[in-house]
């Protein structure tokens, strides 16, 4: 039986994309798998009694080394902010390509703590900063220094000692350009170096609390129990910066979604699912309930989503117990079809993620296909015809063509870059200034404009000639031709409408990162946790691949 890939017009709606969850394809999981046989070491640890100073951690294999350089700084409580406008952080980090010399570390000590106003070089791969979760950090240090472990219940409410407020890569602030490293096998998956940075930062946070506790009370202090460390991840505050990314990188988005959809298709096509594989799926699902019931948020929007997810999961478990027939063929297809008919998007996508768990053989080959050579798709095929262009628009954008942009509600927002921090923002076109400097992220509206013009042109006319008079729509002409080759490249929704929830865009990207416990703080930013439950670096050579659900 051949199952079709899910239709982009239905899948690429923002509400659907905003219901995605982590899966075996997620970047932090594929990172751990790739680096499991690399040698981990802590190469330098020069912190003072209060935990301020520098540290270096590395992964090495044969002649290749990646080093995380950490700078822990003293800041005042009133200087601590997760917002992008902050200028000081509790710690700042960079991932160095190779083994840094003392001169490198000294150079970086003058630049990394300054983040956006510092300068990095082609030797550095990623850059980040993080703030302590102060209450939790102090609680852990205090207890360890008294010779006791911290309160697990208290820890689980937050889930991390530090949260990063930005992780930069790919040439930002002078960092190495992607082309310098793109041919390295170990980093063929997207965001692998960013994942490495965050993962090693997590270890730094454990070492730092242990060090401070011991400095306070050298005789009484104990180290944080590994079983407790494992339950802690790294938090992350994510704002609008991530949202334009998925619009600005259509081929990358396509490759992420294509990988996910291909896995789902192949799983649904399995005629005889083994009992063992079904058990893995079901056990992961049952165990994962713990992640949902311990998912704390003050957001009413998210609370409602969690409530519905739990309700639907109970319904699904009942179905599995009472109605599901293992003897029938195409078991996972039957499960999927039932979910489509009976559950909401949040739960359907949750189940899709879980279905991947037994199938390394299907998932693993697709991980390396999730990067994209964007240059390959940049050139507009100027020799093609207007007829081609119109046919692609009608085929790939039919949902978008239905939107009436003459209505205020469909044209309400505009995306812009803030002058203060060079970061994306979203404003109300009818209230805020700056819509004349709108970023090219209103794809649906511009596709509609393009279609209206194309409709009046001669079929045989060439695109090159069309562009002579219509270069104002060049950016969407390019996208239309990209969509021809990349069916999941476009969000099939209005990114400037009054009903837009920007956090749907953030959540889509974060789910591919492998984030859990999405905690929206407004419709424009949210907190998440990464690597919670993950093995420690010293355990990487042999770890439980279902650690997510332990």
Partner 1 sequence: MRSYSEIETTIKRATKAKGFSWGISEEVGKNIRLLEMFGLPGLKNLNQYFKIYNISNFENIGEISPSNTAKGYYCPILCGLNFYDQSPLILKFNEIEINKIAFPLIFLSFLSRASEIIGKRIFLKMDNKEFLFNFNESIYSNYLSGDILEKSDKINIKFLDNKNNFSEDDWLEMHKLSIKTYVEESEESKSRTAGAGLTDND
Stretch that binds partner 1, among 172-180, 341-349, 493-501, 530-538 (CB under 8 A): 172-180
Task: Specify the residue, 53 or 174, whose C-beta has the smaller distance to partner 1.
Answer: 174
**Hey, how many other C-beta atoms are within 10 angstroms of the C-beta on 550?**
13
- Selected from 473, 496, 500, 540, the binder of partner 1 by CB under 8 A is 473
Question: 3-class DSSP state for residue 274?
Answer: coil
Closest CA to 376 of 474, 222, 237, 486: 486
- Selected from 379, 406, 420, 542, the binder of partner 1 by CB under 8 A is 379
The CB-of-157 to partner 1 minimum distance in angstroms stands at 39
DSSP H or E segment with residue 47: strand 39-47
The CB-of-463 to partner 1 minimum distance in angstroms stands at 8
Stretch that binds partner 1, among 133-141, 181-189, 475-483, 523-531 (CB under 8 A): 475-483
Stretch that binds partner 1, among 64-72, 156-164, 166-174, 313-321 (CB under 8 A): 166-174
Each residue 7-46 as x (binds partner 1 by CB under 8 A) or -, in order, gives ----------------------------------------
The CB-of-284 to partner 1 minimum distance in angstroms stands at 38
376 touches partner 1 (CB under 8 A)? no
Closest CA to 96 of 104, 84, 86: 104
Task: Specify the residue, 328 or 471, whose C-beta has the smaller distance to partner 1.
Answer: 471
**How many Cα atoms are found within 13 Å in the side-chain-facing hemisphere of 110?**
7
- Selected from 68, 176, 482, 489, the binder of partner 1 by CB under 8 A is 176
* Environment class of 44 (CB within 10 Å of its CB; exposed 0-12, middle 13-18, buried 19+): middle
- Contact status, residue 412 vs residue 429, Cβ threshold 8 Å: yes
Stretch that binds partner 1, among 215-223, 271-279, 352-360, 469-477 (CB under 8 A): 469-477
- Selected from 474, 501, 536, 539, the binder of partner 1 by CB under 8 A is 474
What is the C-alpha radius of gyration for the chain, rounded to an integer number of angstroms? 24
The CB-of-79 to partner 1 minimum distance in angstroms stands at 28
Closest CA to 416 of 435, 398, 394, 397: 435
392 touches partner 1 (CB under 8 A)? no
- Selected from 10, 154, 179, 430, the binder of partner 1 by CB under 8 A is 179
Long-range contacts from 187-191, C-beta under 8 angstroms, 24+ separation: 188/367, 188/368, 188/371, 189/27, 189/30, 189/31, 189/34, 189/367, 189/368, 189/370, 189/371, 190/27, 190/252, 190/256, 190/370, 190/371, 190/512, 191/27, 191/513
Write out the binding residues for partner 1, residues 183-242 only, by CB under 8 A: none
The CB-of-384 to partner 1 minimum distance in angstroms stands at 10
471 touches partner 1 (CB under 8 A)? yes
Write out the binding residues for partner 1, residues 344-363 only, by CB under 8 A: none
The CB-of-474 to partner 1 minimum distance in angstroms stands at 2
The CB-of-249 to partner 1 minimum distance in angstroms stands at 13
Beta-bridge partner residues of 414: 427
- Selected from 417, 453, 501, 536, the binder of partner 1 by CB under 8 A is 417
Distance between start and end Cα atoms, the chain: 35
- Binding residues for partner 1, rule CB under 8 A, total 34
- Output the CA–CA distances (angstroms, integers) from residue 214 to 53, 89, 141, in the order listed: 16, 23, 9
Write out the binding residues for partner 1, residues 478-517 only, by CB under 8 A: 478
The Cα 176–Cα 170 span in angstroms is 6
Write out the binding residues for partner 1, residues 423-462 only, by CB under 8 A: 440, 462
Each residue 104-143 as x (binds partner 1 by CB under 8 A) or -, in order, gives -----------------xx---------------------
- Contact status, residue 424 vs residue 410, Cβ threshold 8 Å: no
The CB-of-378 to partner 1 minimum distance in angstroms stands at 6
463 touches partner 1 (CB under 8 A)? yes
Task: Specify the residue, 351 or 442, whose C-beta has the smaller distance to partner 1.
Answer: 442
Q: Across 397-537, where does the E strand assignment appear?
A: 413-417, 424-428, 516-520, 526-530
- The pair of three-digit structure tokens given for residue 140, joined into one six-digit string: 């852990």
Phi, psi dihedral angles at 59 (to 5 degrees) = -115, 130
Task: Specify the residue, 144 or 463, whose C-beta has the smaller distance to partner 1.
Answer: 463
- Which residues have C-beta within 8 Å of that of residue 76, sequence separation ≥ 6? none
Stretch that binds partner 1, among 26-34, 107-115, 173-181, 516-524 (CB under 8 A): 173-181
The CB-of-181 to partner 1 minimum distance in angstroms stands at 12
The Cα 246–Cα 428 span in angstroms is 21
Kindly write down the DSSP assignment for every residue of 343-368, as one continuous string. S-HHHHHHHHHHHTTT-HHHHHHHHT
Which chain residues interact with partner 1 by CB under 8 A?
121-122, 170-179, 378-383, 417, 440, 462-465, 467-468, 471-478
């Amino acid at each position: 039986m051949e199952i079709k890939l899910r239709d982009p017009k239905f899948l690429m709606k923002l509400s659907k994309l905003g219901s995605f969850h982590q899966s075996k394809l997620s970047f932090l999981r594929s990172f751990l798998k790739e680096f499991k046989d690399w040698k981990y070491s802590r190469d330098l640890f020069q912190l003072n009694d209060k935990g301020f100073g520098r540290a270096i951690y590395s992964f090495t294999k044969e002649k290749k080394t990646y080093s995380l350089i950490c700078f822990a700084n003293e800041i005042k409580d009133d200087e601590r902010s997760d917002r992008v406008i902050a200028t000081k952080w509790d710690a700042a980090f960079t991932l160095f390509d190779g083994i840094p010399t003392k001169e490198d570390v000294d150079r970086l000590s003058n630049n990394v703590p300054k983040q956006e106003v510092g300068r990095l070089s082609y030797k550095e791969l990623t850059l980040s900063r993080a703030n302590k979760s102060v209450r939790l950090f102090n609680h852990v240090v205090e207890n360890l220094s008294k010779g006791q472990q911290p309160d697990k219940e208290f820890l689980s409410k937050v889930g991390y000692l530090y949260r990063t407020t930005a992780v930069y890569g790919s040439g930002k602030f002078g960092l190495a350009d992607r082309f310098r490293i793109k041919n390295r096998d170990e980093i063929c998956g997207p965001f692998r170096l960013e994942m490495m940075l965050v993962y090693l930062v997590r270890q730094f946070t454990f070492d730092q609390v242990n060090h401070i506790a011991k400095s306070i009370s050298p005789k009484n202090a104990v180290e944080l129990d590994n079983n407790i460390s494992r339950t802690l991840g790294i938090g992350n505050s994510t704002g609008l910066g991530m949202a334009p990314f998925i619009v600005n990188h259509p081929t990358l988005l396509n490759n992420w979604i294509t990988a996910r959809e291909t896995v789902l298709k192949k799983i649904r096509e399995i005629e005889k699912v083994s009992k063992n594989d079904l058990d893995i799926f079901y056990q992961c699902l049952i165990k994962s309930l713990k992640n949902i019931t311990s998912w704390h948020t003050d957001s009413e929007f998210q609370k409602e989503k969690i409530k519905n997810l739990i309700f639907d999961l109970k319904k699904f478990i009942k179905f599995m117990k009472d109605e599901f027939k293992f003897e029938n063929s195409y078991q996972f297809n039957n499960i999927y079809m039932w979910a489509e008919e009976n559950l909401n998007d949040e739960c359907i996508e949750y189940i899709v993620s879980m279905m991947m768990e037994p199938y390394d053989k299907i998932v693993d080959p697709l991980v390396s296909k999730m990067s994209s050579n964007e240059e390959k798709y940049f050139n507009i095929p100027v020799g093609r015809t207007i007829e081609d262009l119109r046919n692609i628009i009608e085929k790939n954008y039919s949902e978008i063509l239905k939107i009436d942009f003459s209505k205020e509600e469909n044209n309400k927002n505009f995306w812009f870059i803030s002058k203060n921090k060079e970061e994306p923002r979203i404003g109300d076109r009818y209230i805020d200034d700056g819509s004349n400097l709108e970023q090219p992220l209103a794809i649906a509206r511009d596709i509609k404009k393009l279609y209206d013009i194309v409709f009046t042109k001669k079929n045989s006319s060439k695109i090159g000639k069309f562009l002579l008079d219509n270069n104002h729509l060049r950016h969407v002409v390019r996208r239309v031709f990209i969509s021809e080759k990349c069916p999941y490249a476009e969000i099939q929704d209005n990114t400037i409408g009054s009903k837009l929830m920007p956090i749907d865009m953030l959540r889509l990207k974060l789910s591919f990162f492998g984030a859990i416990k999405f905690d929206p703080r407004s419709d424009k930013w949210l907190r998440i946790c990464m690597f919670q439950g993950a093995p420690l670096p010293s355990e990487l050579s042999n770890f439980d691949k279902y650690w997510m659900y332990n």
